[in-house]
Amino acid sequence: MREQGIHADPESPREPIHIRNAEFKPLVHPEHFVSGVPYGSSMLEDSDMHEAPPLNTPDAYRTTLPRQHQTEVASIRSQREPSPSQRPVIQSLTASLSNSPDDNLRDVTSSSGDALSDEIDHLNIQHRRGYAILSPESFLQRRKNASIQKRRMDRVSQALPRASLRTGLCYDVRMRFHATLDEEDVHPEDPRRIHVIYQTLVEAGLTKLPEEGGKEDELMLRINAREVTEKEALLVHTVQHWHFLTMLPDLDKQSLLDLTRTGDSIFYNNQSFTCAKLSCGGSIETCRAVWGGRVKNAIAVVRPPGHHAEPHKSMGFCLFNNVAVAARTIQKESPQCNGTQSAFYEDDSVLYMSLHRFEGGTFYPPNPDGDLTFCGEAKGLGFNVNIPWATGGIGDADYIYAFQRVIMPIAYEYEPDLVIISAGFDAAAGDKIGECYVTPAGYAHMTHMLMSLANGRVAVCLEGGYNLNSISNSALAVTRTLMGEPPQPLHTVHATPKVIEVINQVISEQSQYWRCMEYKSINKRLSADKIKAKRLHDMIRQYQARTLFDSFGMTALLMIRSGQPTSPTFEEQVLATPNYDKADTLVLIVHDSADLLAVPEPGKDNIQTHNSFVLDSTHSLLQWAVSEGFGVIDANVPKFITPSEELDVGNQRVANNQTVDDPNMLMLQLWDNYIDLSDADKVVFIGIGEAYKNLLNLVSLRNCANRVVACINFIARMPLCAVNNTRDENVGHWYLKHSQVFVSETHDVWSQTKRLKVKYGTLVSISEDDIDSLVQVAYEPAIQFIKQKLS
């Protein structure tokens, strides 16, 4: 079929439209079509219409017509009148059907453009078995529908130039051939990973299987994967690494098993190199399709993953660093894109941002490069943003909090032209390697936020994630979001204290490079001012010491720290009542530094001192213990120890690191030098905030069970801690019987289905989230429990 033949000018020569041996010469109203084939319509191929019998034959072609198709002329008129609101589309249809063009040429007209009457049956068209049935009505109706569809598509594309584009999908079944040779080993990087994702997309109706016309999806545009070239791979990887991978197809099974055994969490077979090239090339084509405007965004369901692959070696299930190679390839064609840390650590044209489980460098890969202080080098300084999680169990609210506080503000300031997402679903709920709790809705919300960048140019490339059910549901949620479906609601919206702490540290570190981050000028002011600055947590503790001395006569106990420099934080860190060593009952209160509520000055780094308040949650408990005649020891465990060099003018800085003091050593010294030597036969432990874990360490390391009668802890929404039964296997049961742990009712522990072990103690739910309010609400039940144990 040729694409020309419909003309706007009725007086102009009309080129025929050939359909096998049939020919029409339609005259169409000029306002109902655009010259050429209607855009967006699916043109009929010859194979679609098979051997349709001819309907109109001029003299030149009369000899080729079968005899049964040569009929007398007929007049065809519509039996239905046109609607006043409808403009006729078909003005006339002229057919030459007899041997005599002069005598037998008649007009066959229709007064309506909607349909032709059933009188068309007398044309006596013979149906052939197995052939498509083609009539003037169906053909012209298709033309009309195509013209209408073209106009509709034009209007949509003009009004919504990007939203009218489809989402791209890259998938190639050949990538499943990369598999472990050990038949007994079910490896986490399972070939089924990409299959279950693709099958889930099919079952959701977002795409089709190949046998169902998978290349002609209405919703998604298929992007063909291809093998990465050596030239492209060498944009990131070394020549030695490329040559190593090229040897894999020729190695025998034993050699491949040896490489697998000596490799860094990697396996190989003879198809690994081909699969890795397809995975990397598919990622390139996905990014190129997004960058070139063929699709509005896209997802590449590819494997093996690439996020752990270094320029010089394979590791962590990864052979090529897919997104890094894709970014470099696109970058050669255009100025900006996104990538991965090792490839862009000294590059300011690429912003690399990563949220990952770190645990002080002990989680895979075990090195310090993922810490928040690694911000790039040379020109790339400040363009590397790490958000390292200190523990597992990170959920939706934590990731959303990180996005809102760090990821999106920096990304908005950077203004990228293209966003490439290394879609690691190992943080998904149910993944036993990542051990986090991100739901499909959480991934959808993060994707939705990233779609606001780079004019919506977002390419998602599959990386980790090893629970088949988790990755398929998560990938489905991400794909639906890419296609315009709004994310489902989140069930949790409060970030955990540990995550908030990490985010504040990241903000402090990145404030050196990004204007959108807070604390941007504090360090500059501290170094420029000639006035000696003091840390507020030290000043608050000094104030507490004076107040407690005036009220209860409490004085500081000497704590010896051999080999450690002096610090104002150590002064008056441990305070005691005069009778601490003589009283029959001794209460040890261990707590964090007092909280400070403050209102910042708008647009400044200052706070409004007249609108700042110190919250001391220990005072009511301490006052009760003194009124009962008990001895009291109050230990302050701050999160940061002020270094001695800050005593000099101009050496103060915003601190990111945690305390350099050893709280366990503090607790052991308290027990060995003071509590154990006192006359008290009954001891009560009270822990407030994160400092309570130091009490549990003391219980684990010393034989306290014969003197400690009660252990009260207030933790609100802070992480739970447990006693260690290494010294005494029964310490867990003792702790369960003698403890009350007051926890906020919104704590994650209440959503767990598994029963908690005895080593976590007896938990009590309190309807308060912040620690100060929780202590006040739990005060009465805590006092009653202590009195019960003392009696």
Angstrom distance (rounded) from CA 606 to CA 642: 21
Beta-bridged to residue 636, according to DSSP, are 591
Phi then psi for residue 44, to 5 deg, are -70, 125
Say what the pLDDT of residue 650 is: 54
Q: Is the pLDDT of residue 208 over 90?
A: no
Instruction: With a cut of 70, say whether residue 126 has pLDDT above it.
Output: no
Percent of the chain past pLDDT 90, that is, above it, reads: 52
What is the average pLDDT across 654-680? 80
Predicted confidence at residue 391, as pLDDT, reads 86
Question: Which range has the worst mean pLDDT, 9-23, 232-246, 288-302, 380-394?
Answer: 9-23
**Pair type for strands 22-24 and 27-28:** unpaired
The pLDDT, as a whole number, for residue 788 is 96
Q: Which residues are catalytic?
A: 308
What is the predicted pLDDT for the residue at 72? 38
Cα separations in angstroms, 370 against 58, 297, 392, 438: 78, 29, 15, 20
pLDDT at 96: 33
- When pLDDT is cut at 50, 70 and 90, the band that residue 467 belongs to is very high
Structure tokens at 766: 């309190």
Percent of the chain whose predicted confidence (pLDDT) is above 70? 74
Give the span between the Cα atoms of 238 and 236, in whole angstroms: 7
Residue whose tokens read 């203004």:
415
Above 80 in pLDDT, residue 474? yes
Q: Tell me the C-alpha distance between 699 and 71, whole Å.
A: 106
- Segment 746-761, tens digit of pLDDT: 887 887 777 888 999 9
Beta-sheet pairing, 352-357 with 384-389: parallel
Query: Which residues contact residue 162 at a Cβ distance below 8 angstroms, ignoring those fewer than 6 apart?
Result: 296, 455, 456
Give the C-alpha separation, 100 to 774, whole Å: 103
Whether the CB-CB separation of 286 and 171 falls below 8 Å is answered with no
> How is 354-385 classified by DSSP, letter by letter?
EEEE-GGGTSSS-SGGGSTT----GGGTT-EE
How far apart, in Å, do the first and last CA atoms of the chain sit? 99
Domain spans of the chain, in order of start: 17-159, 167-338+416-489, 530-790
How many angstroms separate the Cα of 423 from the Cα of each of 81, 463, 519?
A: 59, 5, 31
pLDDT at 369: 83
Task: Kindly report the number of other CB atoms within 10 A of residue 426's CB atom.
Answer: 23
Residue tagged 């999680």 (tokens): 389
Give 67's pLDDT tier (boundaries 50, 70, 90): very low
More confident residue, 104 or 620: 620
Which of the four CATH numbers 3.30.70, 1.10.357, 3.40.1180, 3.40.50 does domain 530-790 have?
Answer: 3.40.50
Query: Which tens digits make up the pLDDT trace of 137-157?
Result: 666 677 667 677 667 667 767
The pLDDT of residue 68: 39
Predicted pLDDT of residue 216: 59
Q: How far apart (Å, rounded) are the C-alpha atoms in residues 139 and 26?
A: 11
Give pLDDT, residue 296. Answer: 96
pLDDT confidence of residue 754: 79
pLDDT at 731 over 90: yes
766 forms beta bridges with 744
Q: What is the pLDDT of residue 649?
A: 54
Q: Rank 13-27, 332-346, 463-477, 533-547 by mean pLDDT and report only the highest.
A: 463-477
Q: In angstroms, rounded to a whole number, what is the distance separating the alpha carbons of residues 784 and 221?
A: 67
Confidence band for 570, pLDDT divided at 50, 70 and 90: confident
pLDDT digits (tens, 9 = 90+) for 483-540: 999 999 998 888 988 899 899 889 988 988 998 886 655 767 776 656 677 888 899 9
DSSP secondary structure, 660-724, as one string: -S-HHHHHHHHIIIIITTSS-SEEEEEEEGGGHHHHHHHHHHS--TTTEEEEEEEEETSPP----
Rounded CA-CA distance 282/306 in Å is: 12
State residue 756's pLDDT score. 84
Candidate from 194-198, 559-563, 729-733, 773-777 with smallest mean pLDDT: 559-563
H-run or E-run covering 588: strand 585-591
* pLDDT confidence of residue 149: 66
Burial of 775 (0-12, 13-18, 19+ CB in 10 A): buried
Residue 740 has pLDDT above 80, yes or no: yes
pLDDT, residue 392, reads 87
| 573/640 Cα distance (integer angstroms) | 12
DSSP state of 584: S
**Looking at residues 304-331, what average pLDDT do you find?**
92
| pLDDT (0 to 100) of residue 660 | 52
Q: Which residues, 6+ apart, have CB-to-CB distance to 8 below 8 Å?
A: 30, 33, 35
Residues 449 and 411: beta-carbon distance below 8 Å: no
The confidence score (pLDDT) of residue 509 equals: 87
The answer, yes or no, to whether residue 556 has pLDDT greater than 50, is yes
DSSP assignment of 599-658 equals EEPTTSS-EEEEEEEEE-TTHHHHHHHHHTT-EEEEEE--S-PPPGGGGSTT------S-
pLDDT at 644: 72
Is-contact 620 775, C-beta < 8 A? yes
Is 7's pLDDT higher than 50? no
Residue type, 564: Q
By DSSP bridging, strand 22-24 and strand 17-19 are antiparallel
- At residue 441, the pLDDT reads 97
Omega before 84 within 30 of 0, i.e. cis: no
Domain 167-338+416-489 has CATH 1.10.150.80: no
Residue 413: CB atoms within 10 A of its CB come to: 13
Q: What is the mean pLDDT of the chain?
A: 79
Q: Which amino acid does the sequence have at 542?
A: Q
More confident position, 117 or 186: 186
Q: Is the fold of 167-338+416-489 the same as that of 530-790?
A: no
pLDDT: which is higher, 622 or 112 = 622
Q: Is 474 helix (H, G, I), strand (E, B) or coil?
A: helix
**What pLDDT was estimated at residue 684?**
98
pLDDT at 66: 40
Segment 78-95, tens digit of pLDDT: 343 444 444 333 333 233
Tokens of 529: 């001012």
HEC states along 110-154? CCCCCCCCHHHHHHCCCCCCCCCCCCHHHHHHHHHHHHHHHHHHH
> Count of CB atoms within 10 A of residue 34's CB?
14
Backbone phi, psi, residue 587, to 5°: -110, 125
- Write out pLDDT tens, residues 235-276: 999 999 999 999 999 999 999 999 998 988 899 999 999 999
Record the tokens describing residue 508, joined without a space: 């402090």
